[in-house]
Amino acid sequence: TRVLVLNGPNLGRLGVREPEIYGHASMADLEVQAGAWGSGLGMSVEVRQTDDESELVGWLHEAVDTRAHVVLNPAAFTHYSYALRDAAAQVTTSGLLLVEVHLSNPAARESFRHYSVVAGIATGTVAGFGFDSYRLALQALAGKLKG
């Protein structure tokens, strides 16, 4: 089972960016951890990050075309990118799983973070647990794939 763990804008700044909210670990640390969690679940996990909306949209198309499941932290795109939502919708409507994840709990933060344009087409959402949000998402994927 292949899983793309896709991360949106400013998540390449993890460790430096508002550590009181997002923690002290970096995207490179997440890559190592997610890889290990994936191996433990018998999955091959690839972690990517971009600040670019079109690149993220392209990776979602790639997931559809190569039949990879997706763990997606859309970062700020969560709250306003209909292009990202439409690309993510192609993943779930083609029978693949897509879990929306957030490090923080957007519902407990500023009101502009309360709405996710992605949530309605995701298989499910995990938010508020730091890197553990990704671990839980991978576990949930593995569980759902087992049936």
By CB under 6 A, residue 47 contacts ligand DQA = no
Smaller CB separation from ligand DQA, 1 or 10: 10
Smaller CB separation from ligand DQA, 38 or 106: 106
- Spatial distance between the Cα atoms of 69 and 26, rounded to a whole number of angstroms: 23
How many C-beta neighbours within 10 Å does residue 138 have? 24
Is 115 a residue of the active site?
Answer: no
Smaller CB separation from ligand DQA, 1 or 123: 123
Tokens read off for 39: 């191996």
The residue range among 52-60, 63-71, 87-95, 98-106 that interacts with ligand DQA, by the rule CB under 6 A, is 98-106
By CB under 6 A, residue 38 contacts ligand DQA = no
Question: Is 114 known as a binding-site position?
Answer: no
Shortest approach of ligand DQA to residue 74 CB, angstroms? Answer: 7
Place of tokens 């899983």: 3
Question: Is 86 known as a binding-site position?
Answer: yes
| Residue 133 Ramachandran class (φ > 0 left, ψ -120 to 50 alpha, else beta) | alpha
By CB under 6 A, residue 135 contacts ligand DQA = no
Q: Which of 113, 129, 139, 145 binds ligand DQA (CB under 6 A)?
A: 113
Question: Is 73 known as a binding-site position?
Answer: yes
Tell me the three state secondary structure of residue 30. helix
DSSP state of 113: G
Collect all residues with Cβ–Cβ distance below 8 Å to 44 and sequence separation of at least 6: 1, 2, 3, 38
Is 102 a residue of the active site?
Answer: yes
**Binding-site sequence positions for substrate:** 73, 79, 86, 103-104, 113
